Structure 1
Amino acid sequence: MASDYRTPTYIYKIVPASSPPPEPLPDALPVSELDHNDGFIHLSTSLQVSRTLGRYFSNVDSVYILRIQYKNVEKDIRWEDPKGKNPSGIGEENSFPHLYNGFHLGKKEVNSVQQWSNGTEGWETAIRRAEADGWFKY
């Protein structure tokens, strides 16, 4: 599926458990330092979440995964490399969905939240469980 360049149904925001999203979700969640500095909200497709977790969250015990229905934010998404450069096509390798909407990611955009634990197999157990439940999909 790595060469599956089609429009996703969902895209995902990874939030460390040290900064849990409030319940109920507000209109706009707090913005991470990385997102603020880069000028957009970093998101991933289901095909990219495993790599993102491994690269940036390998030493974290738990994260929240925020699921966003792509069609609801599509007009504000740019597909770019991780630093927000080199625009490219939807779903291409090393092309990430970046949200440019004034940092508004909250109850209108997020349709579901799960907490995942980094187990003995790394993040793969949480990913497989969410896929089996039908929650985590492209």
Structure 2
Amino acid sequence: MSTPTYIYKIVPASAVPPSPLPDALPVSQLDSSDGFIHLSTAGQVPGTLKQFFSDEDSVCILRIPYATVEKDVKWENDKGKGGVGEENVFPHLYNGLRLGNAEIETIAEWKWNHGWDAAINQAITDCWLIY
């Protein structure tokens, strides 16, 4: 499978990143306890939203150029194995839990509107959510 152009971090709107972005944003409890930053490809974002962010009114999607973090990304399934872009294999960032201005290219805020489909479709139409 080809390498992605971008990978994405989803954060609840309650954790909106400040502007300007710092060197490192605060990490979620899950990321902290797992020791890496959980990320998604464009194709995985819809499932991640539905599974983990269905109770949120809005979220921020952080777009990260893959080439910027590639050396620190491991592609893992729930057993810690997998290859780039494989089904049910997610990008995990192992860089000391640092995600900030050096890694994040842009941020989009998405509003829940009877689901995430409208926001997802708009991001695809705008060529913002791309593999």
- The TM-score normalised by the length of structure 1 is 0.92
SS of 1:47 mapped into structure 2: coil
Aligned to 1:93: 87
3-state SS, counterpart of residue 75 of structure 1: helix
In the alignment, the residues of structure 2 paired with residue 30 and residue 136 of structure 1 have an alpha-carbon distance, to the nearest angstrom, of 24
Structure 2 residue matching 1:18: 3-state secondary structure: helix
Partner of 2:41: 45
Match of 1:19 in 2: 15
In 2: Cα distance, 1:17 partner to 1:71 partner:
26
Per the TM alignment, residue 6 of structure 1 is displaced from its structure 2 partner at its CA by 1.8
The aligned residue for residue 116 of structure 2 is 123
Structure 1 runs (4+) greater than 6 angstroms displaced: none
1:1-138 to structure 2, matched below 5 A, reads 5-81=1-77, 83=78, 85-120=79-114, 122-138=115-131
What amino acid is aligned across from residue 64 of structure 1 in structure 2? C
Q: Distance in 2 between matches of 1:94 and 1:134?
A: 23
Q: Given the two structures, how large is their TM-score scaled by the length of structure 2?
A: 0.97
Q: Count matched residues.
A: 131
Q: Which amino acid aligns with 1:97?
A: P
Give how far 1:136 is off. Answer: 1.0
Counterpart AA for 2:67: K
In the alignment, the residues of structure 2 paired with residue 66 and residue 87 of structure 1 have an alpha-carbon distance, to the nearest angstrom, of 25
User: Mind listing any 5+ residue stretches in structure 2 that lack a counterpart?
Assistant: none
Distance, in Å, in 2 between the alignment partners of 1:47 and 1:62 is: 19
SS of aligned partner of 2:15: coil
